[in-house]
A and B are shown apart, each in its own frame.
Chain A
Amino acid sequence: MSKQSNPVDRLWDFFCSLKLTITILILLATTSIIGTVIQQNLSPQEYMQKLGMSESTYNLFNSLQFFDMYHSYWFLSLLGLFAVNLICCSIKRFPHVWKTVREPVLVADDGLFKTFSNLDEVVADGSMESVREKVTVLLSKKFTAPVITEQDGKIHFFSQKAAYARFGVYVTHLSILIIFVGAMIGNVWGFKAFVNIVEGTFVDSIWGRSDSQTPIPLGFEVHCEDFEVTFYEDGRRPKDYVSKLVVKENGQEVLRKTIEVNDPLQYKGLTFYQASYGQSGDPVFRFRVQERATGETVEVVGRQGKHLPLPGGAALIPMGYASNYQSFGPAAQVNIDVGDHQHGNPFIVLQQFANFDEKRGGAYIVTLLEAEQDYYTGLSVTKDPGVWVVWIGCFLMVFGSLTAFFLSHRRIWVTLQPLERGIGVKVGGVAHRNQPAFSLFFDELIKDFNDTLVEK
Chain B
Amino acid sequence: MTSSLLFNVTTIAYFAAMVIFILYLASKGSKVALVATVACWIGFAANTAAIGMRWYEAYALGFEQAPLSNLYESVVFFAWSILLIYLIFDVRYKHRAVGAFVIPFAFFGMIWAQWSLDATIQPLVPALQSNWLTYHVITCFIGYAGFAVACGVSTMYLIKIGKEERAAEGSPIGGILGMFPSAKVLDDLNYKAIMLGFPMLTLGIITGAAWANYAWGTYWSWDPKETWSLIVWFIYAAFLHARFTRGWVGRRAAWLSIIGFAATIFCYLGVNLVLSGLHSYGAA
User: Known contacts A18-B244, A26-B234, A405-B195: does B202 contact A398 (CB below 8 Å)?
Assistant: yes
Inter-subunit contact B126/A25 (CB<8 Å): no
Inter-subunit contact B219/A387 (CB<8 Å): yes
Complex contacts, B230 vs chain A, CB 8 Å: 32
User: Known contacts A18-B244, A273-B217, A275-B216: does B234 contact A397 (CB below 8 Å)?
Assistant: no
CB distance from B260 to the nearest CB of A (A): 9
Which of A139-147, A159-167, A256-264, A325-333 has 4 or more CB atoms under 8 Å from chain B? Answer: A256-264
Cβ proximity bits A24-46 to B, threshold 8 Å, 1 near / 0 not: 01101100110111001000000
Inter-subunit contact A397/B231 (CB<8 Å): no
User: Known contacts A22-B248, A29-B234, A394-B209: does B228 contact A36 (CB below 8 Å)?
Assistant: yes
Q: Does A347 contact B (CB under 8 A)?
A: no
Cβ proximity bits A212-249 to B, threshold 8 Å, 1 near / 0 not: 00000000000000000000100001111100000000
Residue of A nearest to B263 (CB): A29
Complex contacts, A183 vs chain B, CB 8 Å: 220
- Chain A residues touching B, majority SS: helix
CB distance from A83 to the nearest CB of B (A): 14
CB distance from A393 to the nearest CB of B (A): 9
Inter-subunit contact A32/B214 (CB<8 Å): no
Residue of B nearest to A229 (CB): B126
CB distance from B284 to the nearest CB of A (A): 10
Q: Does A298 contact B (CB under 8 A)?
A: no
Q: Does A402 contact B (CB under 8 A)?
A: yes
User: Known contacts A29-B234, A32-B231, A405-B199: does B210 contact A261 (CB below 8 Å)?
Assistant: no
Complex contacts, A382 vs chain B, CB 8 Å: 217-218
Distance A238 CA – B127 CA, assembled complex (angstroms): 10
User: Known contacts A262-B215, A394-B209: does B129 contact A22 (CB below 8 Å)?
Assistant: no
Distance A401 CA – B196 CA, assembled complex (angstroms): 10
Inter-subunit contact B227/A397 (CB<8 Å): no
Q: Size of chain A's interface in residues, with CB distance under 8 A?
A: 44
Inter-subunit contact A239/B231 (CB<8 Å): no
Inter-subunit contact B217/A261 (CB<8 Å): no
Residue of A nearest to B129 (CB): A262
Q: Which of B195, B203, B235, B248 contacts A398 (CB 8 A)?
A: B203
Complex contacts, B235 vs chain A, CB 8 Å: 25-26, 29
CB distance from B99 to the nearest CB of A (A): 21
Q: Which of A28, A35, A402 contacts B234 (CB 8 A)?
A: A28
Distance A237 CA – B202 CA, assembled complex (angstroms): 33
Complex contacts, A37 vs chain B, CB 8 Å: 275
User: Known contacts A32-B227, A381-B217: does B234 contact A25 (CB below 8 Å)?
Assistant: yes
Complex contacts, A26 vs chain B, CB 8 Å: 234-235, 238
Distance A35 CA – B225 CA, assembled complex (angstroms): 11
Inter-subunit contact B245/A25 (CB<8 Å): no
Distance A35 CA – B95 CA, assembled complex (angstroms): 41
Complex contacts, B213 vs chain A, CB 8 Å: 387
Residue of A nearest to B245 (CB): A18
Inter-subunit contact B123/A21 (CB<8 Å): no
Distance A239 CA – B128 CA, assembled complex (angstroms): 11
* Of B122, B224, B248, most A-chain CB atoms within 10 Å: B224
Complex contacts, B202 vs chain A, CB 8 Å: 397-398, 401
Complex contacts, B132 vs chain A, CB 8 Å: 262
CB distance from B225 to the nearest CB of A (A): 9
Distance A35 CA – B221 CA, assembled complex (angstroms): 12
CB distance from A78 to the nearest CB of B (A): 11
CB distance from A74 to the nearest CB of B (A): 15
Distance A137 CA – B248 CA, assembled complex (angstroms): 45
Cβ proximity bits A1-39 to B, threshold 8 Å, 1 near / 0 not: 000000000000000001101100110110011011100
Inter-subunit contact B198/A405 (CB<8 Å): yes
Report how many A-B pairs have Cβ atoms within 8 Å. 109
CB distance from B124 to the nearest CB of A (A): 9
Distance A384 CA – B221 CA, assembled complex (angstroms): 13
Q: Does A391 contact B (CB under 8 A)?
A: yes
Q: Does B153 contact A (CB under 8 A)?
A: no
Inter-subunit contact A32/B234 (CB<8 Å): yes
Complex contacts, B195 vs chain A, CB 8 Å: 405-406
CB distance from A32 to the nearest CB of B (A): 5
Inter-subunit contact B218/A241 (CB<8 Å): no
Cβ proximity bits A145-159 to B, threshold 8 Å, 1 near / 0 not: 000000000000000
Complex contacts, B196 vs chain A, CB 8 Å: 405
Inter-subunit contact A273/B216 (CB<8 Å): yes
CB distance from A176 to the nearest CB of B (A): 10
Inter-subunit contact A36/B206 (CB<8 Å): no
Inter-subunit contact B206/A238 (CB<8 Å): no
Inter-subunit contact B241/A22 (CB<8 Å): yes
* Of A25, A26, A36, A260, most B-chain CB atoms within 10 Å: A36
Inter-subunit contact A390/B219 (CB<8 Å): yes
Q: Which of B224, B227, B242 contacts A22 (CB 8 A)?
A: B242
Inter-subunit contact A192/B231 (CB<8 Å): no
Q: Does B247 contact A (CB under 8 A)?
A: yes
Inter-subunit contact B238/A394 (CB<8 Å): no
Q: Which of B203, B227, B242 contacts A36 (CB 8 A)?
A: B227
Q: Does B271 contact A (CB under 8 A)?
A: yes
Complex contacts, B126 vs chain A, CB 8 Å: 238-241, 260-262
Q: Does A70 contact B (CB under 8 A)?
A: yes
Complex contacts, B234 vs chain A, CB 8 Å: 25-26, 28-29, 32
Inter-subunit contact A261/B215 (CB<8 Å): yes
Inter-subunit contact B216/A380 (CB<8 Å): yes
Q: Does A271 contact B (CB under 8 A)?
A: yes
Distance A260 CA – B127 CA, assembled complex (angstroms): 9
Residue of A nearest to B216 (CB): A273
Inter-subunit contact A22/B245 (CB<8 Å): yes
Inter-subunit contact B224/A391 (CB<8 Å): no
Cβ proximity bits B113-153 to A, threshold 8 Å, 1 near / 0 not: 00000000011011101101000000000000000000000
Cβ proximity bits B265-278 to A, threshold 8 Å, 1 near / 0 not: 00000010001000
| Beyond A26-B238, A273-B216, A387-B219, 15 additional pairs, beta carbon < 8 A | A19-B245, A19-B247, A22-B238, A25-B237, A28-B234, A32-B230, A260-B126, A264-B214, A273-B217, A380-B217, A397-B206, A401-B198, A401-B199, A401-B202, A402-B199
Q: What are the 7 A-B residue pairs with the smallest beta carbon separation, nearest first? A: A382-B217, A29-B234, A25-B238, A261-B126, A36-B224, A262-B130, A18-B245
Q: List 14 A-B contacts (CB under 8 A).
A: A18-B245, A25-B238, A26-B234, A26-B235, A238-B125, A240-B126, A261-B126, A262-B126, A264-B214, A264-B215, A273-B215, A382-B217, A394-B209, A405-B196
